[in-house]
Amino acid sequence: MRDILEAYQVWIYFTAVAIAALTGVVVPGTAHLESWINPALAVMLFVTFLQVPVAELGRAFLRARFLVALLVTNFLVVPLLVWGLIQFLPNDPMIRLGVLIVLLAPCIDYVVTFAHLGRADAKLLLASTPALLITQMALLPVYLGLFLGEAADGLIHMEPFVHAFVWIIAVPLALAAAVELLSKRSHAVKRAVEPLGLLPVPATALVLFIVVAAVVPQLGLALQGALTAVPIYVAFAVLAPIAGWIIASIAGLDAPAGRAIAFSAGTRNSLVVLPLAFAVPNAMPLLPAIIVAQTMVELVSELIYMRLIPRLGRSKSALAS
């Protein structure tokens, strides 16, 4: 069942979004679902983090060259690319903030599944996800301050930002790490936790449903801003994996590891950073709409990646054989 859910997760997410959009139009009062977004996100992140080998962070450092290439791609090359792309956005700090929040944060969850389906080294990418999460949470406020300048002072207040990070990201991560360690020492805990492996895809679909259903009644106020960001997301989806593959080639990584870097470069952490967006004053409905717009572009992009990225390095492999 878990394999089926992961194989069809893109279509599950699209279905959830379509049903949520219809619900938001037909059913009155769905805007009140906004209060359920943070609890749903916390549950989604907890069951997602359970699949991340938090206790095995050291394994990623055994492949130092891969980890360095991964970090350089996501926290040096991608920010430079994003800086160039946002120059084509209107000089609206809120629109730029939404794009920056989502594009500066590399994915730590379903990118592993997509990488596996795209013949990348998914296990190596999985072992690196804690490093990606810790680094992005440390650097995201820094990059936002650099890229937004003085406008960041009026949009980003550290107290709600820290509150969202602690209770919706750090606490689920710590609980998942504790449960993971306990499951290694207790067969009873391990058996109890195993069914939770089925929940990341349904939990993500539930979050998408709640967010879209809550935003749709107010979408008229945010539609233009969300559509403004779409060309930027499309350009990023094209350029970021290419940049990742180039960095992997410079680092001398093998083809599966290089494909993993390409997938990571093109796949963003949209739902994980959503609570940070809600910490921004007057975030609704514009910031969620901008972030969900990126999710929709990305899901289409992943279908293309799974067809094209496996071809990367194929000629080298044939030549070597």
The CATH number of residue 210's host domain is 1.20.1530.20
| pLDDT of 54 | 58
Domain for residue 32, yes or no? Answer: no
Kindly report the pTM of this predicted structure: 0.84
Give dist(CA 180, CA 307) in Å, integer. 34
| pLDDT of 252 | 94
- Count the Cβ atoms, other than its own, within 10 Å of residue 202: 15
Q: What is the number of structural domains in the chain?
A: 1
Backbone angles phi, psi at 106, to 5 degrees: -70, 145
Domain for residue 297, yes or no? Answer: yes
Buried b (16+ CB within 10 A) or exposed e, 169-185: beebbeebbebbeebee
| pLDDT of 318 | 42
CB 172 within 8 A of CB 49: yes
- What beta strand segments (E) does the chain contain? none
- Cross-strand pairs, 170: none
Query: Could you list the mean pLDDT of each consecutive 10-residue stretch along the chain, which spans 321 residues?
Result: 85 92 90 86 84 61 85 98 96 93 90 88 84 87 90 73 77 87 88 88 91 83 88 98 97 95 94 80 86 90 94 63 40
Domain for residue 315, yes or no? Answer: no
Residue 63 sits in which domain range? 41-309
Nearest to 176 by CA among 270, 53, 57, 60: 53
Give CA 70 to chain center in angstroms.
15
Domain for residue 167, yes or no? Answer: yes
| pLDDT of 321 | 40
Does residue 50 sit in helix, strand or coil? coil
Nearest to 120 by CA among 309, 308, 320, 246: 309
Give dist(CA 311, CA 321) in Å, integer. 16
| pLDDT of 240 | 98
Give dist(CA 294, CA 133) in Å, integer. 19
Chain position carrying tokens 């080298």: 316
Complete DSSP assignment for 256-288: HHHHHHHHHHH-B-HHHHHHHHHTSTT-TTHHH
Phi-psi map region of 92: left, alpha, beta (phi>0 left; psi -120 to 50 alpha): beta
Domain for residue 103, yes or no? Answer: yes
Helix, strand, coil share of the chain (percent; to 5): 85, 0, 15
What the block records as the tokens of 14 is: 């699209």
Domain for residue 26, yes or no? Answer: no
| pLDDT of 68 | 94
Give dist(CA 81, CA 85) in Å, integer. 6
Domain for residue 29, yes or no? Answer: no
Domain for residue 28, yes or no? Answer: no
